[in-house]
């Protein structure tokens, strides 16, 4: 293990948001930011998670830490380290909190002991930096073992869980039995949706808050891009450059719960014949880039095998794209370009925390075809896309794509509404205001 690592994030001045969110929202944000800076004076706000890139949490932290610094708050971001068995345990927790078995491993005493030992190894250097009165925001199951040591050092600890199942089952219960003792001492708990708050947290006396994630309309992932820049990325990824060629895009980590393989099979069986000009791009990170995700390589391998077994005509129309992860901004710009090139954004997840890729795709004016799971349901409201009740029905998924692809006017109208909805509900200022309110409560 190499120890804790700090992630440098460029500070983002609030005023660049003004033109996007309008004067009213901007003024409210500035006022809240001033209040936050005064109340947090003399303290540091620490964020701790398990990866600097790849996935929704890293994406969001870049934005929140950047704007927090822009407000004048001393806000920092640290990434914990772990060994392979630790990340196997935390991936198991991730899958089970989503209601799915993942692997066949246990979450018993041996796993708890190893999990705790890795947390203790991270706690030592962390406690050399965190002072009494500081606020520490711990993200996801990988960091829950740090709650107790930080609370003992008189920090104000908030544990934020970005994942969850819409309905509890025996897997979710097993995962929460494992995590609850670690999480319990936290001053506050945050979930992305009300339905993801587990029973034990509802019953507990501690503060439980729901804060949906957000996108930054001006980050490299979402800022406007000119046509040439888009074309260059599209060409680099060997995708059809001509805008007249419909392109369905799903961007995801290589995680079974994102069901990239299912997207491919649904597209191949329904769309290839019915819309002979349409292509599909399944876009994810180069697999050695996301260290806290041990299943990535395996899932990409399964997708490649599934692609190889497609009929030749389908193989020409389905593209597996892996994006370099060594330069975070370059990676973000590539995702941005592909989402802008998309005709439809798909997110056929089997389970989902929030699903930032949906908001990102909607912001770029795309209609969405997605599963009605997790935070996707909060995003794809009426008239912005198609929600599928049964994510495992690949034919229905493919048919929904066909129907939309045959209706360019309908797609354009959905895309316009999608962008408006994201601006109204999921732009970064909404998120900062909610965080500000919670930090005020916790720190006072
Ligand atoms: N992402 C990326 N490069 C990739 C694949 C994904 O930057 O190759 C980003 C994606 O744009 C989004 C985040 O990772 O910002 C995924 O967040 P989401 O909430 O959709 O899912 P999670 O990965 O957190 O389960």
- Least confident residue range of 44-48, 143-147, 437-441: 437-441
pLDDT of residue 293: 83
pLDDT digits (tens, 9 = 90+) for 336-379: 999 999 999 999 999 999 999 999 999 999 999 999 999 999 99
Q: Is the pLDDT of residue 414 over 90?
A: yes
pLDDT digits (tens, 9 = 90+) for 58-101: 999 999 999 999 999 999 999 999 999 999 999 999 999 999 99
Tell me the C-alpha distance between 177 and 181, whole Å.
8
Q: At 437, phi and psi to the nearest 5?
A: -65, -45
| Angle, in degrees to the nearest 10, between helices 109-127 and 84-97 | 110
Q: Is the pLDDT of residue 2 over 80?
A: no
Confidence of residue 417 (pLDDT cuts 50, 70, 90): very high
Q: How far is the CA of 357 from the centre of ligand 1 (A)?
A: 6
Under 8 Å between Cβ of 373 and 363: no
Q: Is the pLDDT of residue 289 over 60?
A: no
Q: How far is the CA of 76 from the centre of ligand 1 (A)?
A: 21
pLDDT of residue 1: 58
β-bridge pairing 344-347 and 318-323: unpaired
Q: Is the pLDDT of residue 252 over 90?
A: yes
Confidence of residue 292 (pLDDT cuts 50, 70, 90): confident
Q: How far is the CA of 366 from the centre of ligand 1 (A)?
A: 17
* Mean of the per-residue pLDDT values of the chain: 96
Q: Which tokens is 63 given?
A: 């934005």
Q: How far is the CA of 251 from the centre of ligand 1 (A)?
A: 7
CA distances from residue 345 to 70, 305, 368, 372 in whole angstroms, order as listed:
32, 23, 5, 14
Q: Is the pLDDT of residue 290 over 70?
A: no
> What is the mean pLDDT of the segment spanning 175-196?
97
Choosing from 357, 375, 376, 380 the residue with most ligand 1 atoms within 8 A of its CB, the one to mutate for a pocket test is 357
Q: Is the pLDDT of residue 206 over 90?
A: no
What SS3 state is found at 382? coil
> What is the mean pLDDT of the segment spanning 10-28?
97
CA distances from residue 70 to 13, 36, 59, 76, 203 in whole angstroms, order as listed:
5, 12, 17, 12, 37
β-bridge pairing 5-6 and 74-79: antiparallel
Q: Where are the beta strands (DSSP E) in 140-276?
A: 156-161, 188-191, 207-210, 247-251
Q: Is the pLDDT of residue 174 over 60?
A: yes
CA distances from residue 115 to 10, 124, 329 in whole angstroms, order as listed:
32, 15, 32
pLDDT of residue 240: 98
Tell me the C-alpha distance between 281 and 251, whole Å.
8
Longest dimension (CA), the chain: 64
Q: Is the pLDDT of residue 177 over 90?
A: yes
Pick 295 or 172 by higher pLDDT: 172
Choosing from 51, 286, 295, 356 the residue with most ligand 1 atoms within 8 A of its CB, the one to mutate for a pocket test is 356
List ligand 1's pocket residues with C-beta within 6 A.
55-57, 59, 221, 251, 253, 283-285, 323, 331-332, 335, 353-357, 360
Contacting residues for 234 by C-beta, under 8 A, at least 6 apart: 240, 241, 337, 338, 341
Q: How far is the CA of 439 from the centre of ligand 1 (A)?
A: 26
pLDDT of residue 291: 66
pLDDT of residue 422: 98
pLDDT of residue 54: 83
Q: How far is the CA of 356 from the centre of ligand 1 (A)?
A: 7
pLDDT digits (tens, 9 = 90+) for 236-251: 999 999 999 999 999 9
pLDDT of residue 204: 85
> What is the mean pLDDT of the segment spanning 300-316?
97
In this structure, the residue with its CA closest to atom 17 of ligand 1 is 56
Under 8 Å between Cβ of 252 and 284: yes
> What is the mean pLDDT of the segment spanning 270-283?
98
| Residues facing 46 on adjacent strands | 76, 136
Tell me the C-alpha distance between 200 and 182, whole Å.
13
Helices marked H in 40-99 = 56-71, 84-97
pLDDT of residue 274: 98
CA angle 306-368-353, nearest 5°?
Answer: 75
> What is the mean pLDDT of the segment spanning 21-25?
98
| Residues facing 247 on adjacent strands | 279
Q: At 106, phi and psi to the nearest 5?
A: -95, 165
Residue with tokens 């209040």: 35
Q: Is the pLDDT of residue 164 over 80?
A: yes
Choosing from 251, 320, 349 the residue with most ligand 1 atoms within 8 A of its CB, the one to mutate for a pocket test is 251
């Amino acid at each position: 293990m190499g120890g804790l690592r700090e992630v440098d994030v460029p500070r983002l001045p609030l005023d660049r948001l003004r033109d996007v969110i309008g004067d009213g929202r901007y003024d409210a944000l500035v006022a809240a930011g001033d209040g936050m800076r005064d109340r947090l004076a003399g303290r540091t706000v620490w964020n701790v998670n398990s990866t600097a890139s790849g996935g929704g949490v890293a994406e969001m932290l870049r934005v929140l830490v950047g704007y927090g610094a822009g407000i004048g708050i001393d806000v920092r971001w640290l990434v914990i380290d772990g060994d392979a068995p630790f990340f196997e345990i935390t991936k198991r927790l991730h899958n089970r909190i989503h209601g799915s078995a993942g692997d066949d491993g246990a979450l018993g005493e041996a796993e708890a002991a190893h999990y705790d030992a890795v947390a203790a190894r991270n706690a030592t250097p962390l406690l050399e930096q965190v002072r009494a009165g500081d606020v520490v925001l711990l993200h996801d199951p990988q960091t829950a073992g740090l709650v107790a040591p930080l609370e003992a050092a008189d920090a104000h600890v908030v544990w934020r869980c970005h994942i969850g199942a819409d309905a509890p089952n025996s897997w979710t219960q097993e995962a929460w039995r494992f995590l609850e003792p670690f999480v319990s001492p936290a001053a506050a708990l945050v979930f992305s949706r009300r339905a993801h708050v587990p029973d034990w947290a509802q019953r507990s006396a501690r503060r439980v808050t729901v804060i949906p994630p957000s996108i930054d309309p001006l980050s490299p992932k979402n800022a406007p891009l000119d046509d040439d820049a888009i074309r260059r990325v599209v060409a680099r990824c060997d995708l059809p450059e001509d805008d007249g060629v419909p392109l369905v895009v799903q961007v995801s980590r290589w995680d079974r719960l994102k069901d990239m393989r299912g997207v491919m099979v649904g597209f191949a069986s329904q769309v290839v014949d019915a819309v002979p000009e349409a292509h599909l791009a399944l876009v994810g990170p180069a697999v050695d880039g996301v260290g806290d995700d041990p299943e990535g390589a395996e899932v990409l391998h399964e997708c490649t095998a599934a692609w190889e077994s497609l009929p030749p005509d389908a193989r020409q129309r389905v593209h597996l794209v892996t994006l370099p992860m060594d330069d975070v901004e370059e990676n973000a710009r590539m995702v941005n370009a592909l989402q802008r090139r998309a005709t439809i954004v798909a997110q056929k997840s089997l389970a989902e925390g929030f699903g930032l890729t949906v908001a990102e795709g909607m912001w770029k004016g795309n209609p969405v075809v997605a599963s009605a799971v997790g935070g996707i349901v909060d995003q794809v409201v009426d008239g912005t896309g198609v929600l599928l009740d049964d994510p495992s029905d690949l034919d229905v998924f493919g048919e929904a794509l066909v129907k939309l692809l045959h209706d360019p006017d309908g797609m354009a109208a959905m895309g316009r509404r999608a962008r408006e909805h994201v601006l109204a509900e999921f732009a970064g200022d909404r998120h900062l205001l909610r965080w500000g309110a919670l930090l005020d409560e916790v720190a006072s």
